[in-house]
């Protein structure tokens, strides 16, 4: 079992899961059953850790490379053309398929978020 994707957005996790299942890859989502209760509990407010986010996993580790390739192609149709870029706001290196900084949300061209 290997995690391929994790997000606080359960809809996106579900979308990716259906993409992998359509490709014949066995998957399951970890934490999806506990998230509803955690969101409404004091624990979630005190410890808003990504551990509570639903995580999409492949059942068979052998499917991991194919799963990552599939999800990458969904996220970014032309990965080779997009190099990682340094954020002008915080200096973090941002993956090329992101148009805004994952850390401070500044746009690739250096503009502040509106
Ligand atoms: Zn930044």
Same-domain check for residues 16 and 43: yes
Same-domain check for residues 60 and 85: no
What pLDDT does residue 81 have? 65
Which residues lie at CB < 5 A from ion ligand 1? 87, 89-90, 92, 101, 103-104, 106
Dihedral in degrees, nearest 10, Cα atoms 83, 9, 28, 52: 100
- Cα separation, 34 vs 36, in Å, equals 6
Q: Residue 50: which domain range? A: 2-75
Same-domain check for residues 15 and 71: yes
What pLDDT does residue 76 have? 64
Same-domain check for residues 14 and 57: yes
Same-domain check for residues 65 and 94: no
Sign of the torsion formed by the C-alpha atoms of 8, 12, 15 and 20: negative
pLDDT tens digits, 21-61: 999 999 999 875 554 444 444 445 555 556 678 889 999 99
Q: What's the gap in Å between 91 CA and the centre of ligand 1?
A: 6
Same-domain check for residues 6 and 32: yes
Same-domain check for residues 92 and 105: yes
CB 23 within 8 A of CB 64: no
For tokens 């492949």, the residue is 58
Res. 3 pLDDT band, cuts 50 70 90: very high
């Amino acid at each position: 079992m290997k995690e391929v994707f994790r997000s606080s957005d359960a809809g996106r996790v579900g979308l990716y899961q259906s993409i992998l299942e359509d490709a014949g890859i066995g998957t399951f989502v970890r934490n999806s059953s506990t998230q509803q209760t955690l969101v409404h509990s004091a624990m979630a407010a005190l410890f808003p850790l990504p551990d509570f986010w639903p995580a999409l996993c492949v059942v068979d580790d052998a499917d991991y490379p194919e799963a990552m390739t599939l999800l990458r192609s969904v996220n970014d149709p032309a990965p080779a053309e997009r190099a990682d870029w340094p954020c002008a706001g915080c200096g973090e290196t941002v993956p090329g398929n992101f148009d805004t900084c994952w850390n401070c949300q500044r746009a690739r061209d250096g503009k502040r978020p509106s």
